[in-house]
Structure 1
């Protein structure tokens, strides 16, 4: 099984700030094309929040059009830029989305189970896992204790050493850790929010954040204390299930065709006098 993850798409209306300056919609279109042309076809795509920039209906309608070409099922979850009701209204045919309350659900039918958590606090940049949301997670994990499981949510359950972003973190981390320690089937916690690939051990499993499909967060480690973005190459994550023996392996896949591969071994043997493809360069 192959799970593709994209995050922080920040789709805006035409000529909106993210559209005009960061070209987020164009970048999402490239990400969709990238996923569709992967040789290893993902079984599903999960988008870990900040789907749009201001939570407006028109933004979700544009997002819907941009995602329409995907040739595999797509599952959405809210981030701090999202509006639950408007998301539900535009994606009303996505039957997995609850009709009211938190946007939390499970995805079954594949070798790895997906459990989606809603960390949104309307109007605030940080996230929260309250007692109700944690109780829901506990109940869902208790349903399938032997099934390999991935938990997906927007806000990561750890600090990253960037003070400003850490101030927009997740409330309820200790409660989440307590739940996860009781359920060893959780292979990974997939998050967004940070616009960078970051990995940390957490509560007996591994938690990671996904790069954005457009702009990335500048890596300003202490003593720097600013919040900046950088147009590093956008990327997605590919989570490959290799079975009980191999477990879940996570890869970062750069989006775009600026760096074509040079084949050294074609599956049958080493390629003699391999010729670089057009566009291949070492700079």
Structure 2
């Protein structure tokens, strides 16, 4: 068994400040890390965390330093891709010593987990809320899929291609997702796409590809299916997602959302 924990949309700001004057994103990440650390002894095979974008709210060096300081308490190594609230070069500078960080260009990387690989794609288009892979991102995907042959894969992005049903969020998803999905459909092995951006836990199916959006550690986006409305935040509990490869009854990835916090229990089942 092998796997990872997906953390997304941490939106860390400068110490002592709040997102939109309401969301204490640093405290939320700290609590999420405490929850993950407490759960790790029960989670077999988890060997890293993957942060799928929006590490910070404004992409400043101060915010990245704050994020890094908070992540020092996580009892796992971690790696990341940027989201639309990040700044690529500031992020590169902050984590230049990390082995997963490219020296230049988009922050794409790939990691072999044994029974599957994760292909992480940078969808940041600076100055825009929506995402785009562009020719360079699609070329990295092509080369990665060719390299893994018939191995199953998880493609990680910040921006999803599936629609959430929240029009204000769907307007800012991945613009060239059709080209991405065409390549995933052609891969000979099972594939899953995991994303963030929407701040809610959602699952959909596009062709034969399962698409999954993870909850944010901080505030959520209001579930509002009405057209022509602006997105709004709600202070619902945050969460992280455990992704583990299981061999029975058939080989595949199983995901489990872990809500942030400490709750009563466990208790034995009894009459």
Give the TM-score of the pair, scaled to structure 1.
Answer: 0.89
Q: CA RMSD in A?
A: 1.8
- Give the Å deviation of 1:186: 4.3
Q: Kindly tell me: are residues 100 and 203 of structure 1, through their superposed partners in 2, closer, same or farther at Cα, counting changes over 3 Å?
A: farther
State the alpha-carbon separation in 1 of the partners of residues 149 and 114 from structure 2: 15
Pairs within 5 Å for 1:68-217: 68-217=72-221
- Give the Å deviation of 1:49: 0.3
Q: Kindly tell me: are residues 243 and 214 of structure 1, through their superposed partners in 2, closer, same or farther at Cα, counting changes over 3 Å?
A: same
Is 1:236–2:240 an aligned residue pair?
yes
Q: Kindly tell me: are residues 226 and 122 of structure 1, through their superposed partners in 2, closer, same or farther at Cα, counting changes over 3 Å?
A: closer
- Give the Å deviation of 1:158: 1.9
| Paired position in structure 2 for 1:268 | none
State the alpha-carbon separation in 1 of the partners of residues 207 and 144 from structure 2: 17
User: Which has the greater radius of gyration?
Assistant: 1
State the alpha-carbon separation in 1 of the partners of residues 130 and 21 from structure 2: 26
State the alpha-carbon separation in 1 of the partners of residues 12 and 171 from structure 2: 24
| Paired position in structure 2 for 1:258 | 263
| Paired position in structure 1 for 2:231 | 227
- Give the Å deviation of 1:58: 0.7
Q: Is the 8 A contact 2:184 2:191 kept in 1?
A: no
- Give the Å deviation of 1:161: 2.0
| Paired position in structure 2 for 1:6 | 7
Query: Which among 36, 40, 43 is matched to residue 40 of structure 1?
Result: 43
State the alpha-carbon separation in 2 of the partners of residues 156 and 238 from structure 1: 18
Give the TM-score of the pair, scaled to structure 2.
Answer: 0.92
Q: Is the 8 A contact 1:119 1:154 kept in 2?
A: yes
Structure 1: unaligned runs, 5 residues or longer: 265-271, 274-283
- Output one character per residue of 1:208-256: Cα deviation in whole Å (capped at 9) or x when no partner: 1110101011111236834211111111111110027231111111111
Is 1:51–2:55 an aligned residue pair?
yes
Q: Kindly tell me: are residues 174 and 75 of structure 1, through their superposed partners in 2, closer, same or farther at Cα, counting changes over 3 Å?
A: same
Q: Is the 8 A contact 1:162 1:225 kept in 2?
A: no
- Give the Å deviation of 1:71: 1.7
Q: More deviation in 129-138 or 78-87? A: 129-138
Q: Kindly tell me: are residues 207 and 109 of structure 1, through their superposed partners in 2, closer, same or farther at Cα, counting changes over 3 Å?
A: closer
How many matched pairs? Answer: 266
State the alpha-carbon separation in 1 of the partners of residues 176 and 266 from structure 2: 43
Q: More deviation in 7-16 or 179-188? A: 179-188
State the alpha-carbon separation in 2 of the partners of residues 21 and 121 from structure 1: 27
State the alpha-carbon separation in 2 of the partners of residues 45 and 72 from structure 1: 6
Q: Is the 8 A contact 2:56 2:63 kept in 1?
A: yes
- Give the Å deviation of 1:10: 0.2
Structure 2: unaligned runs, 5 residues or longer: none
- Give the Å deviation of 1:129: 1.8
